[in-house]
Amino acid sequence: MTWQSPKGTRDFFPADLAAIQHVESAWRNASINAGFDEIEGPMFEHLDLYTVKSGEGIVSELFSFRRAGGDTDYALRPEFTPTLARMAAAKGRSLSVPTKWFGIPSHFRAERPQRGRLREFKQWNVDMLGIDSPSADAEVIATAIRALADLGLTSDDIVVRISHRDVVAKMLLDGGLKEEQLQVALGLLDKREKMPAEIFVEKAEEAGIDPSVFTPFDNETEASHEDLATLQHELKQWDIAEWCKFDFSIVRGLAYYTGIVFEIHEANGNERAIAGGGRYDGLVEMFGGPSIPAVGFGMGDVVLSLVLRDKGLLGDGNDLLPTPDVFVVSAGEEGDAAIAETVSLLRNANLHARRSYKTTKNVGKLLTEAAKTKATFAVILGEEFTRGEYVVKNLSTKDQVTLQRADLIEHLKS
Amino acid sequence: MTWQSPKGTRDFFPADLAAIQHVESAWRNASINAGFDEIEGPMFEHLDLYTVKSGEGIVSELFSFRRAGGDTDYALRPEFTPTLARMAAAKGRSLSVPTKWFGIPSHFRAERPQRGRLREFKQWNVDMLGIDSPSADAEVIATAIRALADLGLTSDDIVVRISHRDVVAKMLLDGGLKEEQLQVALGLLDKREKMPAEIFVEKAEEAGIDPSVFTPFDNETEASHEDLATLQHELKQWDIAEWCKFDFSIVRGLAYYTGIVFEIHEANGNERAIAGGGRYDGLVEMFGGPSIPAVGFGMGDVVLSLVLRDKGLLGDGNDLLPTPDVFVVSAGEEGDAAIAETVSLLRNANLHARRSYKTTKNVGKLLTEAAKTKATFAVILGEEFTRGEYVVKNLSTKDQVTLQRADLIEHLKS
């Protein structure tokens, strides 16, 4: 009988985890340098937290459950914004202005797994609360770009497509859409790129919407909005204008967005969106908190890893694994009896120390094992150890010295 | 309307998270220095993975669920060992000997939350596969102690209580227990410390077991077993014998343990167990892998944090938050227009740079804000900035210099 991980989830063996941690490390570093404080919330929330704003329709996309014998509905969190809004609301009037939070939580979606879309994934969330001006939108976008640049991506690889809910709504209404069809039309527009044109037309007609209202989004549109003018000025300040363009086919699927919205894509349109975000000025108040403006984004690990791998910027993780400072081998009975004690000495000195678990007097074989781990040094408990001496070999230079116990740590740390 | 996190789960605001990350960092550092490679698995598994060994009885302790419209049962993982055994089994014959893995996954239990026991928690797992000798048991115990010592705990604070399933079984059977009552008796013994004596007697009688078979576990027992003799020798090699004692009232609740078992406790018996572990030589094979010996432990964050706080070794996390290298303020219109550009320059140089979002010409007020963040430097875009000059103030020494843009980064990094 063999066992597999659930469909749409992943086992992270050491190299796999090292690769994802490399990405997380760029995310965390960009966030901390930009003055965001890390937070985390529960892996599951009350189901209501998601249905209150998005409606019961979202339930099919969630993993929801009850405790055996319990009567409370929970759901694995599909995104972080509701948790963040709840946490901000809990702070009430004591919430700092601005509050700058980031996190790297796991998220869960019960949809069919597809390329770039799994049932469990990591997502970098960056949120800034309390600043009404598009300068905050520019700062969170700059933070996203800082991390992508640190991972090796350039403005040739990546485009930030920026839009505004008000502009999109005006374009649709000017084209003849009825006001009451707006939410449905925004939802359709959000999914438009992901389906063939004829299917899209079919879906629009099914919803009772004339597909021609979407025609203006085929072309680059000149549109003016005060927020966008301010944002453009700020993006230049951050020196990231060349990474960004306005694109009013971007609307974001989630109902809570209120103004500027954006997505980050691979520049040639490969893969799904790398990140998505925008303004959600009403959400904290909706969860019982103060009325506070907010802007943020989420960037998942799955699409980003595909893009990085495609561009040769992320390997299989094997070269990212920690390598030992020292590898201890024993080639004799005295050494065998003292190897644990030697390893203990080294680890207590905060060295990364591994050892061979083989019993052999073949030092060459043991040194081959040491070299395989990419250790900096090998410590050999051999013939010399019968006189209490340690042979230390630098595995790159092949230089070898014989040391007393008292000099061992200093030599290995130098 | 206000919203709370689900019962038994936690919101981690920045200081809370910094405190738990301090603990995680000690865990990770001890693991890496000891040559363990980090792994991670799915947050939920097929429900069968838990019931196959533990029986259907475990279901009431799990959060289990299905996808809407799906027919597969999943459960949030209550512990990591089944996932690890499944992953090891998946490697089959290519599994390295030894395989040394660690992880810091989240776990979930549907039981009633109590002091030291939440519904969601982090757990450090350290496992060593492929070494049959108690030297592996000693090495994982030494790794646990290394992390606890790094967190400030000593052998006066902590005791590792070591037992052996065979010894415990022999003691019970010698006392008159019937062979077929063994699993039930082990389960009772595991829970014995956590209930009043009269309740324990009641429960034993309910199970048809003469309570007197447990009397020998009231006293320190001399018992000999080859594994324990070897282990004792190894613990001396690791210089941790003074942290450890044999205690045959320890059995561990889980059915898969096969030999040496141990728990780590606060020395005076305060709180629940800090960690628990032991040998589980049969488990990888049971999940379809090779027959391979294994030993490991799990250490949760909840009890450990209580113990650390009680001993004054873990604060509220506020002093563990990252502090900025530099805090930028502007006290004039030229500065206001250039503050984002200045912050961008600093962050791109990999400095942790924060800024004031206030518009005021009161430099004193702005510097008070800077000092509150515990920034090393303040950069002031003031009167001098009209001539393109930056005032840099060291917030500890109060030394102040006026610099050209070209000299800014070098000064701040020095």
ipTM of the complex: 0.95
CA A192/CA A214 separation, integer angstroms = 10
Residue A330's φ and ψ, nearest 5 degrees, are -130, 135
Residue B294's φ and ψ, nearest 5 degrees, are -155, 150
Inter-chain CB proximity A5 and B86 less than 8 Å: yes
DSSP per-residue string spanning A274-306: SEEEEE-TTHHHHTTS----EEEEEEEHHHHHH
**Residue among A1, A6, A40 minimizing CB distance to B17:** A40
Inter-chain CB proximity B288 and A12 less than 8 Å: no
> What fold does the segment set B14-42+77-310 form as a domain?
BirA Bifunctional Protein; domain 2 (3.30.930)
Inter-chain CB proximity B108 and A43 less than 8 Å: yes
Inter-chain CB proximity A14 and B6 less than 8 Å: no
Helices (H), B34-152: 48-54, 81-91, 134-150
CA B297/CA B103 separation, integer angstroms = 11
Give the nearest chain B residue to A129 (CA atoms): B357
pLDDT of B178: 94
User: In terms of Cα–Cα distance, which of B252, B272, B268 is closest to B116?
Assistant: B272
In this structure, are residues A299 and A123 in contact, taking their beta carbons and an 8 Å threshold?
yes
Which residues of B are less than 8 Å from A106 in CB distance? 43
Pairs of residues, one from chain A and one from chain B, whose beta carbons lie less than 8 Å apart:
224
Cβ neighbours of residue A234 under 8 Å, at least 6 residues apart?
A: A134, A135, A137, A138, A139, B340
> What fold does the segment set B322-413 form as a domain?
Rossmann fold (3.40.50)
pLDDT digits over B48-76, tens only? Answer: 999 987 767 778 899 999 998 899 999 99
**Residue among B3, B97, B135 minimizing CB distance to A86:** B3
pLDDT of A52: 84
Query: Where are chain B's structural domains?
Result: 14-42+77-310, 322-413
Q: With 0-12 CB in 10 A as exposed, 13-18 as middle and 19+ as buried, what is A285?
A: middle
Inter-chain CB proximity B131 and A10 less than 8 Å: no
CA A298/CA A253 separation, integer angstroms = 13
Residue B365's φ and ψ, nearest 5 degrees, are -65, -40
For B337, the token pair is 């227009």
CA A382/CA A333 separation, integer angstroms = 9
Inter-chain CB proximity B38 and A14 less than 8 Å: yes
Give the nearest chain A residue to B339 (CA atoms): A237
In this structure, are residues B10 and B302 in contact, taking their beta carbons and an 8 Å threshold?
no
3-state secondary structure of B25: helix
Q: Is the pTM of this model over 0.80?
A: yes
CA A235/CA B344 separation, integer angstroms = 11
Which residues of B are less than 8 Å from A338 in CB distance? 237
> Which of A48-57, A238-247, B23-32, B342-351 has the least mean pLDDT?
A48-57
User: Chain A: nearest CA to B97, how far in angstroms?
Assistant: 9
Give the nearest chain A residue to B149 (CA atoms): A348
Percent pLDDT > 90 in chain B is: 88
**Residue among A29, A41, A101 minimizing CB distance to B5:** A41
Inter-chain CB proximity B6 and A131 less than 8 Å: no
Which residues of B are less than 8 Å from A341 in CB distance? 237-239
CA B238/CA A348 separation, integer angstroms = 10
Inter-chain CB proximity A44 and B76 less than 8 Å: yes
Neighbour count for residue B317 (Cβ, 10 Å): 18
Give the nearest chain A residue to B38 (CA atoms): A14
In this structure, are residues B80 and B40 in contact, taking their beta carbons and an 8 Å threshold?
no
The per-residue pLDDT string of chain A (414 residues; one tens digit each, 9 = 90 and over) reads: 678 999 999 999 999 999 999 999 999 999 999 999 999 999 999 999 999 877 677 788 999 999 988 999 999 999 999 999 999 999 999 999 999 999 999 999 999 999 999 999 999 999 999 999 999 999 999 999 999 999 999 999 999 999 999 999 999 999 999 999 998 999 899 989 889 999 999 999 999 999 999 999 988 777 789 999 999 999 999 999 999 999 999 998 777 899 999 999 999 999 999 999 999 998 999 999 999 999 999 999 999 999 999 999 999 999 999 999 999 999 999 999 999 999 999 999 999 999 999 989 999 999 999 999 999 999 999 999 999 999 999 999 999 999 999 999 999 998
Give the nearest chain B residue to A8 (CA atoms): B42
